[in-house]
Each structure stands twice: as C-alpha cells, then as structure tokens.
Amino acid sequence: MVADNRFFDFFSENNVRYIRGRPRHPQNQGQVERVNQTIVRKIASAIENSNEKRWIDIHQKIVFKYNCCWHRAINKTPFNAFRLREGINNL
C-alpha cells in the first residue's frame, strides 16, 4: 500500500490528474486512442515510404519524433513537458 501512496503523492505534487477508465473499453480513453491513431498512421506512412517492412523497427523513432513535436494543447513538446528540457530530434 505504501507504493500506491507514493504513486498518488507523485501525481498530486506534479499536478497530474489520474483518471480511471473501464478496462478493455477504448472508447473511454479518447486522448490515448487519438495518440495511438496518430502513431499508427505515421508508422504506416514510414513503411510505405521506406525499405523498412517491420513496424517494430521504426516504432521507437516515430514515437520519439512525435514527442519532440510542438503540441498546441500543452504549449510545448511532450518531451519538454516530461523531461523539462528539449529533446534533440536528429533521427
């Protein structure tokens, strides 16, 4: 139970809102599903435009690039929001 308290203490210290959703019900997880859709679309485009045929080989690069792009909703990059510094997008 101590680990659970630390988890929620971390959330409150960092102004993170914890939202519980129904398991195996992605319709309730709109923001997560939207990001997943974007990443899947970017992976499909990368596979179509390159010689790479396995999504797992390019997934990490795609996610890193996504996290280094400016997001209007948070007025910064996700990398900056999480790490408090800019990521170097040289991939």
pLDDT at 1: 45
Tell me, letter by letter, the H, E, C secondary structure of 41-88.
HHHHHHHHCCCCCCHHHHHHHHHHHHHCCCECCCCECHHHHHHCCCCC
- pLDDT band of residue 3 (cuts 50, 70, 90) is low
What's the pTM? 0.62
pLDDT at 13: 87
DSSP of 9-35? HHHHHTTPPP----TT-GGG-HHHHHH
Over the stretch 9-68, which tens digit does the pLDDT of each residue have? Answer: 888 888 877 777 777 776 767 777 888 899 999 999 999 998 888 989 999 999 999 999
Tell me what the mean pLDDT of segment 62-77 comes to. Answer: 90
Asked whether the predicted pLDDT for residue 80 surpasses 60, the reply is yes
- Of 58, 33, 36, 32, nearest in space to 45 by CA: 58
